[in-house]
Structure 1
Amino acid sequence: MMSLVNPPLELVEFTRMYLAAFYSLVAAFYTVQIILMKRSNSRELIFSGERFCGTWWNHMAFRLFRVGIWLICLFRVFQPSIDSYLGLIPMLETSLVILSGNILLTLGFISTIIIHLKLGKTWRSGIDPNGPKSIISKGFYKYSRNPMFLCVAISQFGFFLAIPSLFTLICLIIGIYTLYSQTLAEEKHLSRVLPLEYKNYSSQVRRWI
C-alpha cells in the first residue's frame, strides 16, 4: 500500500517522466494548433501588444517560463541530479501532495484544451485590436469571465505540487501575476470596445468563479 507521507521511488520517477511528456505534449499541441489555425484563418492569432508595453511583458514572461519549465522537466529525465538545484521543499514531498499535483496539472490542462477547442476560430492569444465583435457568454463563460486563465492557474498550481520547490513556487507566482495582469488589461479593452455589453456581462458573471 502506498504511503501518503513518504513518496515511493516509483511515484517520484513516474512524475519525472510524466512531467517531461506532459509539457512536451503542451508545446506540441499549441504549436500545431496555432499553425493550423493561422492557415485556416489567414490572419494573426497572437497579440502581444506593442513592444515593452504591459501585455508584451506578460507574454514574454509567460513564454520564457513555459520554455524554462519544459526544458527543466526534460533535463530532469536525463539528469535527476538537477533536482538538488531546484530548492526542493522536503515537508511537501509527500505522496498525497505529488499525486494531487499530477491530478490538478492534468485536469487543468484538459479543461484548457476543451475551452480552447470550444472557442474554435474565435480563439486569440492576447488583445486583438480589431476585436472582439461580441462578448462570449455561453459554455464555460456562463460561470467565469476567464475560465481558460483559471484552468491554466490550476495547472500551474498542480506543477508546484508535483515538484514542490522554490523553482516551481517562483513559476507559480510569476504565472499567477501575469495571468492576473493580462486579465485586467483585457477587461479594460473590453470595457472600451463593448462598454454596455461587457458591463452587463461582468455584473452577472464573476471574474474567476
Structure 2
Amino acid sequence: MDSLAEITAFNRVYLAAFFTFVAAFYTVRIIYMKKVLKRELVFPGAPFCSTWWNHMMFRFFRALIWMVCLLRAFFPSLDSGLGLIAPLQHPLVILTGDVLLTLGFAFTIGVHFVLGAGWRSGVDPAGPVQLKTTGIYGRSRHPMFMGVAVAQLGFFLALPSVFTLVCLGIGWVMLYRQALSEEQYLMQRFPDVYGRYAAQVPRWL
C-alpha cells in the first residue's frame, strides 16, 4: 500500500471521528450552558433575515459535512462523487489539512472558554452588557470566526475536492456576512466604544 492510500484510509476515520466530536461538543456545551445559565444561547434572528439565513446555511453544511464524512468512512467509493482534485491528492497536503482543521477547532474552543458564560451564537438582543476588548480580542475583532475559517481551509486540504471547495467558499462568505451583522449590532449598542475599538483592532488580523 502506498503512502497516499495509507493517509487516505487514516483520514477517512479521522474526519469521521473529528466531526462527530465537533457535533458532540457543541450539543453538550449548549445544553449544559442553558441548564446552568437558564437562558437561550442561540439567536438565529427573525425568520428569513440575513443572520437567520447565515445560521440555516451553517447548520445545513455542518450536518452535510458530518454525514459525508461518516458515510465515506464506511463507503470509500463515495469519494468518486465528491469531485476529487487530483493535483492536491498528496500526503503532505492532506496531513497539512488535518493539522489546520484540528488547530482551527482547538483555537475556537479556546475562544469559547475565554468568553465563558458570555458566549452566544448569533446576535443576542439582550446583550452583551459590555464589550470584550482585551486578550485575543485586543488583536482581532472576530477571533472565533478566524478559528472556524482556518478549520474550514483545513477541511478542504484534508479532502481536496469540489465538494469541500464549495463548502469552503460558502463557509467563508457566511462568516464574513455574520461578522458584518454582529459589527452593525455592536455599533448600534455601543456607538462610541465600538467605534473606537473597531478603529484600533482589525476585523481579522
TM-score by length of 2: 0.98
Q: Which amino acid aligns with 2:157?
A: L
Once the two structures are aligned, what percentage of the paired residues are identical? 55
* Structure 1 counterpart of 2:58, from 62, 65, 81: 62
Determine the C-alpha separation between the residues in 2 that align with 1:121 and 1:42. 11
Q: CA deviation at 1:116?
A: 0.4
Structure 2 partner of 1:84: 80
Structure 2 partner of 1:113: 109
* Structure 1 counterpart of 2:187, from 172, 186, 191: 191
Q: Which amino acid aligns with 1:95?
A: P
Structure 2 partner of 1:30: 26
Establish whether residue 42 from structure 1 lines up as the match of residue 6 from structure 2.
Answer: no
Establish whether residue 13 from structure 1 lines up as the match of residue 9 from structure 2.
Answer: yes
Deviations 1:81-108 (A, max 9, x none): 0000000000111111101100000000
Checking the alignment, whether the CA contact within 8 Å between 1:7 and 1:93 is kept in structure 2 is: no
Q: CA deviation at 1:8?
A: 2.4
Runs of 4+ in 1 over 2 A off after TM superposition: none
Establish whether residue 182 from structure 1 lines up as the match of residue 184 from structure 2.
Answer: no
> Runs of 5+ in structure 2 lacking a partner?
none
* Structure 1 counterpart of 2:135, from 134, 139, 144: 139
> Runs of 5+ in structure 1 lacking a partner?
1-5
After superposition, where does 1:144-163 map in structure 2 within 5 Å?
A: 144-163=140-159
Deviations 1:113-167 (A, max 9, x none): 0110111100000000111111101221111000000000000000000000000
Q: Which amino acid aligns with 2:41?
A: L
Checking the alignment, whether the CA contact within 8 Å between 1:143 and 1:206 is kept in structure 2 is: yes
